[in-house]
Each structure stands twice: as C-alpha cells, then as structure tokens.
C-alpha cells in the first residue's frame, strides 16, 4: 500500500503533533483537539478498507463508539471504572455527558494499536488465529498513549476534571486500570466478531501498510517529546483538590514515560518490520 496521500497524512500529522507546543497561548490552540482526532480518522478511512474491509471497519467503529461511550458515561455517573471525573466544554457538543469527539478518538488509536499488535506478535497472515493475543497486546499499546497523555489534558488543559485528584499529576491510578478494561473490551468484542463472522478479517501481509500505522503512532508519540523540549519551563497549575503541580515536572515526566513505553513499542515494531523485509528479500 504505497498511497502517497496516506503517507502525506502521516507526515503532516507528525509535524502538527511536534509543533503543538508552539501553538500554546495562540488562538490556533483551540483547534488542536479537533485536528488531533479527525486526522487519524481520515487516515483510517483511507487505510482500513484494504486492511480489514469496509464491513469490519464499520463494526470496529460501532464497537469502539458504543463501548467507550458506555464506559465513559458509567464512570461519570458512578466513578467506575475510571474514577470520578467530568468533562468541561472544551471539546464541544456532548452525547449525554461525553463529548462527541471522545469516541472517534478511541476508535482512531484503537485501530492503530490493533495493527501494531498484529505486527508485534507476527499475526499478519490472513486467517491467523492470534486474535486473543492481539487483544492483550493492543490494550497495552493503547494504554501507553493514555499514560503519556492524561495529565496534560486533565491537569494542564482541564479538558476533563478529576474531582478527587490523583498521585500521577492529578490523575488517579484507577483511571489507567479502567482504560485497560475499556479498550480490552473493545478489542475482545472485535475479536469475537472476527472469529464468528463470515466476513473474515481482510489482511494483506503488507509491510508498507503496517509502517503507515506505525507512522501515525509515531505522530502521537512526537507530541510528548516535543512538549518536553519546547513546553513551558516555568509556571504551575492547580488540580481540582488544590494540589499544585509544576508544568516543567509534568511535561518532562510525560516525555520520559512516553519514550520508555510508546518509544519502546515504536522501536520494536520497526525492528519487526525491518526483519520481515529482509525475510522477503531473502525469498
């Protein structure tokens, strides 16, 4: 899959993500959440039909939308499974208590995480029976992103508010356990669909398509490294329970977390793809 438009989206998104620190305190920063969510969705619409087929793509989107909305709504109402929080109005219109942009965000990163997981466990062949291994690995890959992202969105930007605070720069531990449960449910539901559906997963063992998915994950990762280098070096922010956090501490800590979680996944996936390329050349 050498579609230059897909590669262009990957490249533009990576540059955009790395440039986010330069948009802080400008009028353009308000558009960052919308672009950050819609760019991966556009990528998927161009990328996924050949990789998993339109029918499977529609099912994946529906599962991600319904399951993530259900978990988010439940937690906002009861505190389970993420903890006690609520969304502000930063992300625009809501479906109930959850902004409409949240569900496509889940879907976008879920799709990328699913493909990366398939690469990591050598499950690229059509009809491979590795679905449950993919569920587990993809859930870890996805939660790594939230681990790198949540304090900046919640404590700094206050897109959502943790009412009881938390030790991880204002975010509670239970949030990440809840995230794992939520995304594992999405992946498990999709795996069940694939195992029972007559429309089996359409996967061409295409290293280029896998590299494109990895490229978008690199774009997600680039934001956290960029804020470590270019983010504010002074200033503080106060969370909902009055705990004061240093901006530099948050940005540099998230950079370290992302490098040794998402960065590790990027390196390992790239090595797997390179090894697959050498095997193809040898044949």
Query: Is residue 276 within 8 Å of residue 207, measured between CB atoms?
Result: yes
Cα 35 from Cα 50, distance rounded (Å) = 24
Question: 197 to each of 39, 154, 166, 187, how far by Cα in Å?
Answer: 29, 39, 42, 15
pLDDT tens, N- to C-terminus, the chain (283 residues): 567 899 999 999 999 999 999 998 888 888 888 888 888 999 999 999 988 889 999 999 999 999 999 999 999 999 999 999 999 999 999 999 999 999 999 999 999 999 999 999 876 655 555 678 999 999 999 999 999 999 999 999 999 999 999 999 999 999 999 999 999 999 999 999 988 876 555 555 578 899 999 999 999 999 999 999 999 889 999 999 999 999 999 999 999 999 999 999 999 999 999 988 887 777 6
Cα 139 from Cα 191, distance rounded (Å) = 13
Q: What are phi and psi of 19, to 5 degrees?
A: -90, 0
SS3 3: coil
Cα 280 from Cα 283, distance rounded (Å) = 5
Query: Is residue 71 within 8 Å of residue 182, measured between CB atoms?
Result: yes
Handedness of CA 254, 134, 211, 32 (dihedral sign): negative
Cα 253 from Cα 147, distance rounded (Å) = 11
Contacts 24+ apart (CB under 8 A), 131-138: 131/191, 131/194, 131/195, 132/188, 132/191, 134/187, 134/191, 135/184, 135/187, 135/188, 135/191, 136/184, 138/110, 138/113, 138/114, 138/183, 138/187
Q: Which two tokens stand for residue 148?
A: 């790198």
Domain ranges of the chain: 4-282
Q: What are phi and psi of 18, to 5 degrees?
A: -70, -25
Q: For the whole model, what pTM was predicted?
A: 0.94
């Amino acid at each position: 899959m050498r579609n230059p438009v897909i590669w262009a989206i990957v490249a533009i998104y990576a540059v955009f993500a790395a440039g986010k620190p330069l948009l802080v305190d400008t009028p353009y920063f308000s558009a960052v959440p919308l672009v950050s969510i819609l760019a991966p969705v556009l990528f998927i619409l161009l990328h996924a039909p050949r990789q998993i087929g339109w029918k499977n793509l529609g099912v994946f989107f529906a599962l991600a939308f319904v399951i993530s909305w259900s978990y988010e709504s439940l937690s906002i109402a009861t505190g389970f499974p993420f903890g006690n929080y609520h969304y502000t109005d930063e992300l625009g219109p809501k479906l109930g208590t959850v902004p409409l942009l949240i569900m496509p965000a889940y879907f976008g990163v879920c799709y990328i995480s699913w493909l990366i997981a398939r690469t990591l466990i050598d499950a690229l062949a059509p009809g491979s029976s590795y679905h449950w291994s993919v569920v587990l690995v993809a859930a870890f890959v996805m939660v790594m992103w939230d681990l790198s992202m949540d304090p900046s969105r919640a404590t700094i930007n206050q897109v959502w508010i943790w009412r009881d605070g938390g030790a991880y720069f204002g975010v509670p531990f239970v949030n990440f356990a809840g995230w794992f449960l939520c995304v594992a449910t999405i992946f498990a539901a999709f795996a069940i669909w694939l195992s029972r559906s007559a429309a089996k997963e359409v996967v061409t063992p295409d290293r280029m398509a896998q590299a494109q998915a990895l490229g978008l994950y690199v774009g997600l990762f680039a934001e956290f490294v960029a804020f470590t280098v270019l983010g504010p070096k002074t200033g503080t922010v106060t969370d909902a329970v009055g705990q004061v956090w240093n901006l530099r501490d948050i940005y540099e800590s998230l950079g370290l977390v992302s490098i040794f979680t998402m960065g590790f996944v990027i390196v390992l996936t790239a090595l797997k793809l390179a090894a697959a390329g050498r095997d193809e050349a040898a044949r």
